[in-house]
Amino acid sequence: MNKLGKLLKDYVDNQLKDAKKDYNKVINELNNELYKEMIDMYDTFIDQFYSYKTTSYIRHGQTKPGTQTGVSLYRAQNISIGGNYYNPKLIVDFRPSDMNVSYEWDEAPDVFNYVMYGIRFPYFNNSSNWIGKYEGKYFSFKGTPMHAFQLFNDTFDEIAEKGFREKWAKTKWGH
Residue 51 belongs to a domain: yes
> What is the percent of the chain with per-residue pLDDT over 70, rounded to a whole number?
91
Q: What's the average model confidence in pLDDT over 91-103? A: 85
Residues near 96 by beta carbon (within 8 Å), at least 6 away in sequence: 76, 108, 109, 111, 112, 113
Residue 8 reports pLDDT greater than 90: no
Residue 174 belongs to a domain: no
Q: What amino acid occupies position 68? A: Q
Residue 154 belongs to a domain: yes
Residue 175 belongs to a domain: no
User: What's the pLDDT tens digit per position in 40-76?
Assistant: 999 999 999 999 877 777 777 777 776 787 778 999 9
CA–CA dist 47, 156 (Å, integer) = 24
pTM over 0.85: yes
Helical spans, DSSP H, in the chain: 3-51, 108-116, 145-154, 156-169
What is the number of structural domains in the chain? Answer: 1
User: What's the pLDDT tens digit per position in 24-33?
Assistant: 999 999 999 9
Residue 58 belongs to a domain: yes
CB 138: neighbour CB atoms within 10 A? 17
Note down the domain range covering 89. 3-169
